[in-house]
Structures are given as structure tokens and as C-alpha cells.
Amino acid sequence: MTSIDIKGISKNYGSIAALKNVNLSLNSNGCIGLLGPNGAGKTTLMKLITNIIKPSTGEVLINGTNVSADPSIALRTVGSIIEQPEFYTYLTAYETMMFVCRIKGGTKEFCTSEIDRVSNITEVKNFLNRKTGTYSRGMKQRLALAVALINNPDVIILDEPTFGLDPRGMADIRRTLNKIREERRSIILLSTHLISEVKELCDRVIIIDEGSIVYDSDLDDVKKSLRIRFYEPVSSDFTGKDSLIEDEGKTAIFSVERDTPNNVLIQNLVSRGAKIRDIEESSGIEEKYLSIVGAGSN
């Protein structure tokens, strides 16, 4: 079984602690969202996992092999996009992928087949023979993803893969990632500051803030949230001690188990005389994130 074990990782840049004693175990195929505000330490952690930088303390193990001590073994089944991808502008997408595949030890016959496979998954086939110097940001991101998928990696590390894309470009990348996720062949670690991206793509969410892991849960275990607005003010005695009262008593936020029908709570409130104005449901990740990180972080 594929595994990533991060043990006591810290990274200091002079007096600045970018990561502080991070411990994580990732051993289930599917998509794991690393969620946090800008500057939280997401990219630093990705760079440590892929051996672009070295830790100040601690170690990263991929399938039991130390990334810093033996990177050629640890990273041979890892594909990644770290920060913004750049390519040789005079090469086409086909030539770029052939170059990378051959460096990884593939025969020409294997690489030709592999390029065809990943080009279809990522839709790079639509501009396979154009030089990369003519590519838009979205096309570069799709090519970077195709390159990361060469050799069917067990681990896929994606550092904000939709950053800077327009809505169509974001939708293209997310559609591709959902295809990969549904195959359940790889651990996908995806960093983002977009809660919507985690909800759409991920099975597990890890929140990082100021260099520390502050929350880690399967998405199925995150309670959904109901924001109910009332015509008249209510108190916590009326709504229950676990609800959060806002707007001078006219709004209450409830955390509810994901499989609990909304009408159970609504009927209970109405039977006690509540005059409900409107209801808004969310996954609960937003409230969890804001309660931990704060509303102004992004």
C-alpha cells in the first residue's frame, strides 16, 4: 500500500519558522486537500515532500524510503506540480512529454503509448504539436498535469493547480482531477486556499495555519452547517446550547450530522413557535475553517 509519512518536520528560514513539527500519515488512495491561507506553509510542505528543499528537522518517508536520504528511490513513483510550471518554449507538448518520459527510463515505444494515454486524460491532445511558448496559463497547467501523470505515479503532489486560471480553466483541471480521483489508484495531495475546491475534489481535508497542522478529518465526518434566519430574535435557550447565535438573535448556526434530514431540525423549531425566514445549508467546512483560521486570513 502506498504511504507518505511526515514525521516531526520543521523548516526554518533564518528566524522565520515556515513549518513547525508537522506530523502526518497519508496512506489511503484518493484526494487529500491541504487547505490554508496564503503563507500558511502549504508550498513549503510540498517542496519538502518532493525533495526540492531539505527539512530543518524531521523526515519524510514515501513507501518507507527517506526522501532526503534516497530521493531517486523515494520519488520514482511520484508526479508533481510545484508552483507555476514552466517549459522549454521551443518544444511542443509531445516533445516535452517524450523528453520527461525518456529521462524517467521509458523506451520510445512505451513513451509514445504513455503520451497518448495522459494526453487523453488531460485533453492535451488538442494542442499536442504546438510549441509551449504559445500556450495560455490554462494550457500550461494541463500539460504540467500530463507530465505529472507519466508512468502512472502512486503519489501525485499538486500545489494550487488551478491558481491564476479563469473559470473555464479551473473547471477543466477539476474535471481531469475528478477522473483521476475516481480511479482510486493514487494518493493525490492537493494544496489550495479555495474551500470550494476541497469540497468538490477531496475525500479528506487537512487545515494548515502558520506552519502547523490545526485540523485533519475525512470530509464525511465534517458536520454540515445550517444557517437559519428568524423573523424575531431567539436565544440559545430556544435553539440549543450548541448553536451559534448572530445578528442580535435573528440568525442561528447549527452543526448537524451529514445524514440528518434538515426537516427534522426545522420541524422541531417550528413546533416550538419559531418563525423561520430562510435557511442556508453548507458543508460545514467553511465554518470549521473560519473558526480555526479566521475570516480575514485569505
Per-residue pLDDT of the chain (298 residues; tens, 9 = 90+): 789 999 999 999 999 999 999 999 999 889 999 999 999 999 999 999 999 999 999 999 999 999 999 999 999 999 999 988 899 999 999 999 999 999 999 999 999 999 999 999 999 999 999 999 999 999 999 999 999 999 999 999 999 999 889 999 899 999 999 988 888 789 999 999 999 899 899 999 999 999 999 999 998 887 778 889 999 888 888 887 767 777 778 888 887 777 778 888 888 889 888 899 998 887 778 878 887 887 554 4
Q: Which domains does the chain have, with CATH numbers?
A: 4-220 (3.40.50.300), 223-282 (3.30.70.1560)
CA distances from 74 to 3, 18, 60, 185, 218 (A): 11, 24, 9, 18, 26
Phi, psi of 159 (to 5 degrees): -95, 100
Q: What SS3 string covers the chain?
A: CCCEEEEEEEEEECCEEEEEEEEEEECCCEEEEEECCCCCCHHHHHHHHCCCCCCCEEEEEECCEECCCCHHHHCCCEEEECCCCCCCCCCEHHHHHHHHHHHCCCCHHHHHHHHHHHHHHHCHHHHCCCEHHHCCHHHHHHHHHHHHHCCCCCEEEEECCCCCCCHHHHHHHHHHHHHHHHHCCCEEEEEECCHHHHHHHCCEEEEEECCEEEEEEEHHHCCEEEEEEECCCCCHHHHCCCCEEEHHHCEEEEEECCCCCHHHHHHHHHHCCCCEEEEEEECCHHHHHHHHHCCCCC
Cα dihedral 148, 152, 157, 162 sign: positive
Q: With CA atoms as reference, report the closest residue to 15 among 45, 48, 56.
A: 56
Residue type, 16: I
